[in-house]
Structure 1
C-alpha cells in the first residue's frame, strides 16, 4: 500500500503542492474506525428486496419534501431543465434520495474520511487516494478550507453528494457568483446535478423505463445480458421480451428484475435509466429515483 509520505511526494511533483503544508494537513486528519466499519461489505446473503428498498425512498415524507423543494427552487429547476434537458423532477428526486433535500449531507469531515480510506482500507485504497488527490486540488482551486468540509463516510459532499472527482468534472457555478458551492447553494447544486446527467448521456424527451414481461424460458438469458442498454428492442423481443407498448425505435434497452411482494416484476430500462445508474450503480437506486420523481411531479 502507498504510504502517506509517498502520496505527499507525488502530490508535490505532479501538482506543485508544498510538502510541509501537506504533511501538516494530513497529520490533522483523524483515522476513523467507524468509517472502516461502515465501508466493510456485509457478509453475503439475501439483500434487501426492491419492495422494502422502495419504502425507504418513495414515501410521503420525501414526496412532500420534494414538492416543497421544487416550489422553493422553481426558477433554478426551470432553468436547469431548459439548459441541460434534464427534467426538474429527476433533479429534485436525486437530491431527495441523496440528502433529503440538503438536510442530511453527512457528518464526517471529508479529509478524515478520505485519509482513512486511502491509507487504512486496503480493499479500495487506490480509488480513495484518487479522491483524496482530487479533494486536495479542489480545495486549493476553490479556496476552501480542507478541514472544514463535511460529507458522507465515503467522502461524498454537499447537497447532491458529489465525490471530489465528480465535483471537479461536473460541479458548476449555476448562479454566476464565481463559486461552485454545492454545500449550501441550492442553485449550484441543482445545476451541478443536471450537468452530471447531461454529461453522462441523458437524452432529452426520451423515456426512462417501461413495464414489460419475459417468456419463462428466456428469463435467465435476458437477465444475463449486459446492464448497459446496448440491445435494440427488436433484438430483445427475439430473445424473449414481451413488450406491449408503442415501440420506441430510437433507443436501446436493458432488462431489470425487481422483487415485489407478489413475485418478480420485469422492466425495460432505456438510456436515461442507465444514466441514473451512473450516479449510483444500483438498479434499485435508479428505480427509486424514477418512481419518487413521478410521485413528486404528480403531487406538485
Structure 2
C-alpha cells in the first residue's frame, strides 16, 4: 500500500510526465531571468550542465514537519537534553565569536546558538540536496510557489557569480536552505555577513560567518536587546479573551485578565505581548513579545519559534516547558527514539541505523507493532509503543 506522501509523489509525477520533456525549455526561461539579474551565461551553463529534475522535491514540499508533526513531538527532539548539552558546548567553544556577534548586532548568544541547534543540529544536518537541482525542479514543476523557487534559483546563481561559494558547496533542503543556520539564497544575498574577516560570506564552511549572519537576521527583524522573547503562563479557567501571536496588548491587559507566570509570579516585560496556546486550552500557554516574532520570521511557524525560544532559555540554565501537553502518549527524545529503533531491530525490522531520526522504515515498523497491539496504526514514535517493546 502506498503511503500518503508516496501517493502524492506518484500523482504529481504522473501529472507532470508530459512536462518533464520540457525541462530544457524551462531552464531556458530561467536562464533569461538569471541573466536579467546579472548572472553570466557561462556561470549559468556551468551550474546547470547535465541537470535533471529531482521530483522528490515535490514530495518533501508536501510534508513539512513544522506543520504536520504534533508540536510535542516536534519540540521533543529539538529541546531534549542532548540538544541542550551540545549547545552549551558550542557556547564555550565559540565564545569569542559569539561575544563579537553580540557586540555587533545586540542579539544574545543563547538565541544565536539555539537557531543553530534547531536549524542544523549545530552543523551536522545541513541538508544534502544540491540547491541548483532542487530549486530548478521547484521552479519548473512545483504545483504552487513556483515564483518562490524561481527567485531562489536565480539567487543561488547570483551567489555563485559573486564567488563566495561554488555550486558544489550549495547543498541543503528542498526549499534551498543551506549552511549552518540554513539561509535561503535570497536571504543570504540580503543578510549574510562576513564574520571571520576574510572578505567572504561563507555560511557553509565558516561558523563565524553563519553565527554573525544569524545575529544580523534577528537584528534586522527587530530584535530588542535585553528584552525577553516571552515565557510560559497560567491562563485562568474559563478564559475567553484574545489569543494569537499578532493580537498584542500591554502586559497590564493580560494581568487584568488573570494571567500569571507559570510559577505563579506576576507578569513582567516591556512592550506589547500576545498569548499563544499552540496545543489548545488544555496545553501550555505562552505570553510572547517582539523577540518571539523575530524567531517566528525565520520559518513562519509557532512550533519553530517555540523550539528556538525554549532552547535559548534552556541554554541559559532555565527550565523547559512546565505544563504537560494534552496527550496520553508522551513524545520521545532522540535518545528514546534510538532505543525504540534498537527494539524494533531486535524484533527483526529493518529500520536502518538507530540514529533517532524517524524515517519511513521506522514508521512502517511502528505501524506493524501498533496493529499487533490492537492500536490505531499511526507510525508515530510515542511512549506507549516504546513501553510495549520494553
Change (3 A) 1:139 1:250: same
For the pair shown, the structure with the greater C-alpha radius of gyration is 2
Contact 1:212 1:241 in 2 (8 A): no
Contact 1:212 1:267 in 2 (8 A): yes
Contact 2:201 2:209 in 1 (8 A): yes
**Other structure's SS at 1:258 match:** coil
Unaligned runs of 5+ in 2: 1-18, 20-24, 319-390
Change (3 A) 1:251 1:146: same
> Paired residue for 1:259, among 271, 279, 285?
279
Specify the alignment match of 2:26 in structure 1.
Answer: 3
CA–CA distance in structure 1, aligned partners of residues 250 and 49 of structure 2: 54
Q: Structure 1, residues 132-176: CA drift from partner, whole Å, max 9, x if none?
A: 111111211134322442111221110000000111111110111
Contact 2:228 2:269 in 1 (8 A): no
Q: In the alignment, is residue 116 of structure 1 matched against residue 128 of structure 2? A: no
TM superposition shift of 1:208: 1.1
Alignment of 1:1-300 (within 5 A): 3-12=26-35, 14-19=36-41, 21-23=43-45, 25-41=47-63, 47-219=68-240, 221-223=241-243, 225=244, 227-228=245-246, 230-236=248-254, 240=257, 242-243=259-260, 245-248=265-268, 250-259=270-279, 263-298=282-317
Compare relative contact order (CA 8 Å, sep 6+) and give the higher one, 1 or 2.
Answer: 1
> What TM-score results when the alignment is normalised by the length of structure 1?
0.87
TM superposition shift of 1:255: 1.2
Contact 2:34 2:157 in 1 (8 A): no
CA–CA distance in structure 2, aligned partners of residues 64 and 204 of structure 1: 25
CA–CA distance in structure 2, aligned partners of residues 189 and 241 of structure 1: 42
CA–CA distance in structure 1, aligned partners of residues 284 and 43 of structure 2: 55
Q: Structure 1, residues 237-272: CA drift from partner, whole Å, max 9, x if none?
A: 56x462465454631111111339x93221110011
TM superposition shift of 1:292: 1.6
**Other structure's SS at 1:30 match:** coil
Contact 1:26 1:115 in 2 (8 A): no
**Other structure's SS at 1:206 match:** coil
Unaligned runs of 5+ in 1: none
TM superposition shift of 1:27: 4.3
CA–CA distance in structure 1, aligned partners of residues 45 and 151 of structure 2: 17
CA–CA distance in structure 1, aligned partners of residues 146 and 306 of structure 2: 30
Q: How many residues align?
A: 290
TM superposition shift of 1:190: 0.9
**Other structure's SS at 2:283 match:** strand
CA–CA distance in structure 1, aligned partners of residues 300 and 185 of structure 2: 17
CA–CA distance in structure 1, aligned partners of residues 247 and 195 of structure 2: 31
TM superposition shift of 1:215: 4.6
